[in-house]
Structure 1
Amino acid sequence: MSEASGSAGPVVLSGVKKVELYKKVWSRNDQIFIFVGLFLLSWAITWETTITSTVTPKVTSILGANNLSSILSTILYILQTALLPMISKLSDFTGRAEAYSFAMTFYIVSFIIMASANNYPTLVGAKVIYAFGYSGTTILGPILIGDMTSIVNRGIYQGLYNAPVLINLFVASSVGSNFVESGRWRWSFGINCILLGVTSAPLLAGLWNVQFKVKRSGLLVKAEEEERNSGPRMTLWERIVWLAIEIDIVGSLLLIGGLCLVLLPLVLALPKWGGWSSGLTLGTLISGVVCWGLFALWELKFSPKPIIPLARWESRTPLYGVLVTSSITLISSTNWQFLATYLQISRRVDSKTAIYLECGYNVMYIITEVSVGFLMARFKVWRPFIWTGIAIAIVGLGIMIPARLPTSSDAFVVVSQSIVGLGTGMCFIPVLVAVQSSVPHNDLAIVTALFQVGGSIAASVGSTMAGAIWNALLPTKIAEYVPGEYDHAQIISSITYVQSLPIEQYDGAVKAYGEVQKLLNIIAVSLSVLTFVFAVPMQSFGLDQTEETRIASGAKNTNGNPNEVPSILSEDDISKSDIKPTVSPA
């Protein structure tokens, strides 16, 4: 548990040490209370993301920036690239309770700003603050589940943690749509402040309670004495330097700088910066390429703790697992970025109906996740689910091309979405469990962060690519298919304006939007082959293998402490339950 830090002597990661001590003092009831808190917060997060995705097209349209809506996603994903490993390491350094408290503060404040925004730049600024809160809760949930569960049952609990999406898909989208249609769109953000604060209270109370138990037991004092006796303690400045090295602050800044400088011009070059030949566009793109070159040089030659610490891991399964998830995220972020806008325009429906048409993907995705978690626990395997899921997803993506045509039926749209949801839902949990199980517990937080960073980078690239294609092709297609006089700025930025056009112009606009959306679908199908390429090299191992066998197969892990209270729903509990359709953490 100790790591050297120059002349400062051995360093114990305080947060990781606290997790080890949690397991010596917490009871089964403590674990149940914490998991229930996780479930409630997961519900609030999925409520927030559903209601936000429902209202965002209309809100950006009200603020006159619908064609720039992909910037919000791009900024969030770029920030997550740095924040996910930073917050995961912060939780290792300070503790899970402290890190969750930090994240929730930013999360709630961001929605206060969104609710009071009067222009698009304010909304973008709120999204920056939002990134700190959302990134923190996103990464800490899987980390905490990894702390609390064994490898065999981890898939079940990760699936249950994601299950609240099903509760919110229809309710939250309906509420968000009603807020917008009644002119009270600010309340769609304001209500999130209340819900996030209330639902996070049980989880934070459970974590702090266990932490106080550790303190009262004297174990924390004993651990601190052992740390002091093992070597000289670091000063505050030395701890700051150590943390900067641990999160590879130089590499993170170069990576984020490169992403910002390359991706943002792809969205802003045509609508805002004067085209591809303008000095601002070219200078920004060239600077981004230089940043990426410096990033590669730093990571390969100079970084003491690279962002991707492959040298510490015997297995390459974590890397390939990250690439599998990243390729799936790249496909979805490219293919879904403007789908809600397209559905509202092509079918003349409101935002609520558009979300309902999209939700077949999410419903099937979550149902499949939970089911696969139980099947993994039953059969102790994970790789067959990944291969089967990828094959199904590719078929579904191909079906989406005709399903999303303006002339296709709503049922066809839902069916195609559901097929892709079935395929991708079979992949996520097995890949996450494989990645977490291929490294020692000390590296659980950082490998989970790496898993999500890969997804964030892929999502930022995908949403930017979609935004660049949308802004480059849509004006051309509009000019080609829409007859007569019309407001050029409004027809590409306002859903309401397009829906109110005379029938001949409206049909032309639908055809233009449909052709651009079809191109995004085709690109997604072309990219889908990457998932198979990355999944094949992942090393197979059984979830019930001993440590020695796992190490032999390149998937290294650490044994539990014999003095610890068993993780919730241990392997013995699973074998006795015969994998019933429902399961209690008790």
Structure 2
Amino acid sequence: MENTAEKTTLDGVQKVRLFTKVWTKRDKVVIFCGLLLLSWAVNWEGTLGLTTNVNAMIELNSNNIISILSTVAFIIQCVCFPFYSKISDMTGRANAYTAAMVLYVIATIIMASAPTYGSFVGGQVVYSFGYSGILILGPIVIGDLTNVVDRGLMQALYNVPSLINLFVTPLVGDALGVAKWRWGYGMNSILLTVCSVPLLASLWHLQYRVKKSEHYIEYKRQQKAVNNMVKKKTLMEKIAWFIAEVDLIGSLLLVGGLCMILLPLVLSTTMWGGWQSSRTIGCLVAGVVAWVIFGIYEWKFATKPVLPIMKWQNRTPLLGILVLSIVTLISSTNWMYFPTYLMISRKVTSGEATLLDSGYRVGYTIGMVMSGTLMKLFKKWRPMVWMGISLMILGIGLMIPARLPHSSNAFIVISQTIAGFGSGTLDIPIMVAIQSSVGHEDLALVTGLIQVGGSIAGSVGSTLSGAVWNGMLPGLIKDKVPGDYDYAKIVSNIPYAVSLPEDQYNAVVDAFGETQRVLSIIAVSLAGLAFIFTLPMRSFGLEDRQDEQTGDDKADHVDEDLTQYGSRSDEMNSEKVELPEAMNDQHVDSKA
């Protein structure tokens, strides 16, 4: 069964490798332009969602549990990221990208027509299945297109289209308002469909040319010859292989444990009757049990573990994933309720709050482009990491006073921009270091693990934010706000909160400000932990690593094919069956 797994996985990887034999410079330019167009559309949808999600929650009276949306999304992505990376290796990039886009568009239609909060969350579930594929496949395709030296700059340029949207989508969101937020999702379904066509058409056309190439025809001919000489697998054996290949059991245990541990942290005090309720206790206990079983299964039984942390002797990939995961943990903790806080403390619209929050994303994008350019010029990545993480710690530290209720808007923007610039400067070199520390055959796998780590961190961060928010506010509002008021409306309905009498409103702002201050303190503490994880990462020059990978890829190209057919030849030799020598020689020559 293991040999069959190798064969099927190699079929998708083989298509990617043969891209380099059939594509031209024009093909690469067209594909990258298609990536940029889709990146713009996806970012438009996500940035517009910062405004429309808040407006949707106001209409559905669920603003205080908005963190559930992120928690559910991040949990689902934990499974989807390695699944998409595996499927793209097995079937090809075009197949995986198309499946992700179909789910993505369907999800926006579901959310546009959702009549209740529950159905909106259902749309968010489908959204996570599609969006996670788009999120992981973009960096994978860029990894296919570029070498180690150019990869950082190309990854940064891939995110540049987001700058176009930062100052436009808040205006669109405010124009739609609470009454017409559904039009935002409906518009996105059309926009995403149209903007995905150039990339998908290019990938399918290139994949078609690969299948018609002599190299791929020869590869399939020899593959067929080998398959005819060994026993064919039954349907049940193929199903068992697929379950093992994507580690379905481990993935379900991981996601089940995350759901049962994280969701009670948000829902226990808001919808489940407190920490003493049987539902809360049962979920937490079951979640711990699921994780214990997950650890044992991954350690003893999984042949292709969903988190293969012991796969590489070099610890740079694992440490880099931890650093990027902590950055995601910080953003999901400290930014989850920040737009809500701005809307209440500054009495601004959802779009205006998004604009105040845009400094982080502007700085992040500029930081990525700068670090990618410097890495290309100097062939070094480690100095960029330390500069980035120092600026990120400085910016998050400044957020503690900047986010006080009566601080200036300029102070907010400056602190956000410094933190974003530091995060962007850190992100690209860490990602390139992770991808460059493994062979090309593990590129999709390690890129998937980057996103899995981010999803786990995001789910923990959004849950932590929701737990702090819903845990602190009841007591603070009770202690600070005088007179009669409706607590449920204060935390779930922003227009009600800002329409309170002045003495009550000022007390509400102080309560929200104290909660936001605690979240910022947690974030700066986590940033220090990220710095510690960067210290043991192995330093290497990108130019040296490019030379190593060029040689390794050539060797792996032959060695893996020989392993594939050699392992089957061992099986056939035991049955006194041999491949013709000429076929073996021809096969090696064509792959070399």
User: TM-score w.r.t. structure 2 length?
Assistant: 0.91
1:209 maps to what in 2? 205
Instruction: Identify which range, 276-285 or 240-249, moves more after superposition.
Output: 240-249
2:383 maps to what in 1? 384
What is the SS of the residue equivalent to 1:313?
coil
2:570 is aligned with 1:534: no
1:306 maps to what in 2? 305
Superposed CA offset, 1:318-337 (max 9, x none): 10000000111111111001
- Cα distance change on mapping 1:320 and 1:561 into 2, 3 Å: closer
2:40 is aligned with 1:43: yes
Report deviation, 1:12. Answer: 4.8
2:367 maps to what in 1? 368
Query: 2:506 corresponds to which letter in structure 1?
Result: D
Report deviation, 1:311. Answer: 3.8
Paired with 2:182 and 2:325, the residues of 1 have a C-alpha distance of 33
- On the 8 A contact 1:383/1:430 being kept in 2, the answer is yes
Query: 1:185 corresponds to which letter in structure 2?
Result: W
2:114 maps to what in 1? 117
1:485 maps to what in 2? 484
1:584 maps to what in 2? none
2:243 is aligned with 1:244: yes
- On the 8 A contact 1:394/1:528 being kept in 2, the answer is yes
2:272 is aligned with 1:265: no
The percent of aligned pairs where both chains have the same amino acid is 51
Superposed CA offset, 1:154-187 (max 9, x none): 0111001011110100111211121115x21101
- On the 8 A contact 2:5/2:245 being kept in 1, the answer is no
2:176 is aligned with 1:194: no
Residues 100-499 of structure 1 mapped to structure 2, 5 A cutoff = 100-180=97-177, 183-231=179-227, 232=230, 234=233, 237-499=236-498
User: TM-score w.r.t. structure 1 length?
Assistant: 0.92
Paired with 2:433 and 2:482, the residues of 1 have a C-alpha distance of 55
- Cα distance change on mapping 1:144 and 1:503 into 2, 3 Å: same
- Cα distance change on mapping 1:106 and 1:8 into 2, 3 Å: closer
Report deviation, 1:312. Answer: 3.2
Paired with 2:403 and 2:553, the residues of 1 have a C-alpha distance of 48
Paired with 1:212 and 1:8, the residues of 2 have a C-alpha distance of 24
Report deviation, 1:486. Answer: 1.4
- Cα distance change on mapping 1:204 and 1:134 into 2, 3 Å: same
Report deviation, 1:560. Answer: 8.9
2:22 maps to what in 1? 25
Report deviation, 1:46. Answer: 0.4
Paired with 2:32 and 2:5, the residues of 1 have a C-alpha distance of 38
Superposed CA offset, 1:259-303 (max 9, x none): 000000000000100000111100100000111111111112221
Paired with 1:28 and 1:9, the residues of 2 have a C-alpha distance of 31
Q: Which of the residues 55, 59, 75 maps onto 1:58?
A: 55
- Cα distance change on mapping 1:203 and 1:561 into 2, 3 Å: farther
- Cα distance change on mapping 1:105 and 1:237 into 2, 3 Å: farther
Query: 1:200 corresponds to which letter in structure 2?
Result: S
- On the 8 A contact 1:261/1:284 being kept in 2, the answer is yes
2:577 is aligned with 1:558: no
- Cα distance change on mapping 1:546 and 1:160 into 2, 3 Å: closer
> Which structure has the larger Rg?
2
Report deviation, 1:315. Answer: 1.2
2:66 is aligned with 1:69: yes
- On the 8 A contact 2:57/2:66 being kept in 1, the answer is yes
What is the SS of the residue equivalent to 2:27?
helix
2:572 maps to what in 1? none
> Which runs of no fewer than 5 residues in structure 2 stay unpaired?
559-592
Report deviation, 1:498. Answer: 0.6
Report deviation, 1:418. Answer: 0.6
Query: 1:154 corresponds to which letter in structure 2?
Result: R
- Cα distance change on mapping 1:55 and 1:88 into 2, 3 Å: same
> Which runs of no fewer than 5 residues in structure 1 stay unpaired?
564-586
Paired with 1:543 and 1:281, the residues of 2 have a C-alpha distance of 50
- On the 8 A contact 2:8/2:90 being kept in 1, the answer is no
- Cα distance change on mapping 1:28 and 1:538 into 2, 3 Å: same
Paired with 1:432 and 1:8, the residues of 2 have a C-alpha distance of 28
- Cα distance change on mapping 1:498 and 1:12 into 2, 3 Å: closer
Superposed CA offset, 1:67-96 (max 9, x none): 110000000000000000001101111110
- Cα distance change on mapping 1:59 and 1:226 into 2, 3 Å: same
Report deviation, 1:213. Answer: 1.1
Query: 2:307 corresponds to which letter in structure 1?
Result: I
Superposed CA offset, 1:331-387 (max 9, x none): 111100100000000000001110111000100110110111111010001011111
Query: 2:151 corresponds to which letter in structure 1?
Result: R
Superposed CA offset, 1:167-213 (max 9, x none): 100111211121115x2110111111011000000000000110111
2:501 maps to what in 1? 502
Paired with 1:220 and 1:8, the residues of 2 have a C-alpha distance of 19
Instruction: Identify which range, 101-110 or 242-251, moves more after superposition.
Output: 242-251
Aligned residue pairs total 555
What is the SS of the residue equivalent to 2:272?
coil
- On the 8 A contact 2:81/2:451 being kept in 1, the answer is yes
Paired with 1:53 and 1:8, the residues of 2 have a C-alpha distance of 42
Paired with 1:134 and 1:48, the residues of 2 have a C-alpha distance of 11
Query: 1:246 corresponds to which letter in structure 2?
Result: E
- Cα distance change on mapping 1:11 and 1:205 into 2, 3 Å: closer
Instruction: Identify which range, 427-436 or 215-224, moves more after superposition.
Output: 215-224
1:517 maps to what in 2? 516
Query: 1:63 corresponds to which letter in structure 2?
Result: L
Query: 2:356 corresponds to which letter in structure 1?
Result: L
Query: 1:366 corresponds to which letter in structure 2?
Result: T
- Cα distance change on mapping 1:296 and 1:154 into 2, 3 Å: same
Superposed CA offset, 1:440-477 (max 9, x none): 11111010000110011001000000001111111111
After superposition, the CA RMSD in angstroms is: 1.9
Superposed CA offset, 1:220-253 (max 9, x none): 3222112223444655544433232122111111
Paired with 2:409 and 2:544, the residues of 1 have a C-alpha distance of 47
Report deviation, 1:107. Answer: 0.2
Paired with 2:149 and 2:6, the residues of 1 have a C-alpha distance of 37
Paired with 1:7 and 1:87, the residues of 2 have a C-alpha distance of 19
- On the 8 A contact 1:18/1:211 being kept in 2, the answer is yes
What is the SS of the residue equivalent to 1:306?
coil
Query: 1:97 corresponds to which letter in structure 2?
Result: A
- Cα distance change on mapping 1:77 and 1:317 into 2, 3 Å: same
Paired with 1:550 and 1:288, the residues of 2 have a C-alpha distance of 41
- On the 8 A contact 1:547/1:558 being kept in 2, the answer is no
Query: 2:298 corresponds to which letter in structure 1?
Result: E
